[in-house]
Amino acid sequence: MSFDFPGINLYIFIIGACVGSFLNVCIYRIPENKSIISPGSSCPNCSKSIPFYLNIPILSYVFLSGRCKFCKTPISIRYPLIESLTGGIALLTFLWFGPTLSAVYWFVFICTLLTLSVIDMDHQIIPDVISLPGIIIFASSFYFIPDMTVKKTLIGIFAGGGSLYAVALFYSLIRNKEGMGGGDIKLLAMIGAAIGFKGVFFTIFAGSLIGTVAGIILMLYNQVADMQLKIPFGPFLSAGAVLYIFFGPDVIAWYFSLLGQ
């Protein structure tokens, strides 16, 4: 699908990339309890303020050859990658859902998942300052998503948070130690607010499957013998939720059609 307005796809990608630049700020500052509003962007090494013309998403990294203009310290490739990914997410959601409020809603939701996932990979935390307001904000799904209702939203929140809480409680009783952080519980409650209880169980299944495969690959790659290697679960839950947004209902319908044969 493509819109009739000339160049609209490029404009959407650019807007998404600019949002990605803001996500980079959130990913860096929120775990350190710093303001995401002020001060403006600066080099983490030399603390020099970055002027606006050197802070253009993706392009600035290319023009500066991946180094700070002032101290020549290498800039992480992750910055332009997240900007590019966010631009791609913006384009994909608008091509998939059309010029609708649903597309805007899903874009914001996926960007939130992306931010939480990267923070979780970096610090193995899922900040309450994002997930708790996220539960409230994305509980508005019934307003933006045609298939969602207030009832489905509320059930999704309790199914998401409650299911992982039950798993964490059972694990702690059996093993006498924490096996899943509270951040994952709040994350899944937020996911449930957005995609309902069906999406929650799809997310848990898909996230667990992806996480298991990734864990095996990681252990083989690093030749890690310790089967208790700690891997953050948040990114896999986020991946499962994104898969549900685009493919979940069709996959569920296909699965039940197989059962009916």
What's the confidence (pLDDT) of residue 92? 96
Pick out the chain residues at pLDDT < 50: 1-2, 224-225, 227
What's the confidence (pLDDT) of residue 69? 87
What's the confidence (pLDDT) of residue 231? 78
What's the confidence (pLDDT) of residue 26? 96
What's the confidence (pLDDT) of residue 27? 96
The CA–CA distances, whole Å, from 28 to 24, 33, 251 equal 6, 10, 36
Of 160, 153, 163, 78, nearest in space to 114 by CA: 78
Q: How many CB atoms lie within 10 A of CB 28?
A: 18
| Bridge partner residues of 74 (DSSP) | 67
What's the confidence (pLDDT) of residue 157? 95
What's the CA gap between 59 and 55, in Å, rounded? Answer: 8
191 Cβ neighbours under 8 A, 6+ residues apart? 113, 156, 160, 199, 200, 203, 237, 238, 241
What's the CA gap between 57 and 60, in Å, rounded? Answer: 6
What would the pLDDT profile of 174-231 be if each residue is shown by its tens digit? 766 665 668 899 999 999 999 999 999 999 999 999 988 888 887 777 654 454 557 7
Q: Which amino acid, 170?
A: F
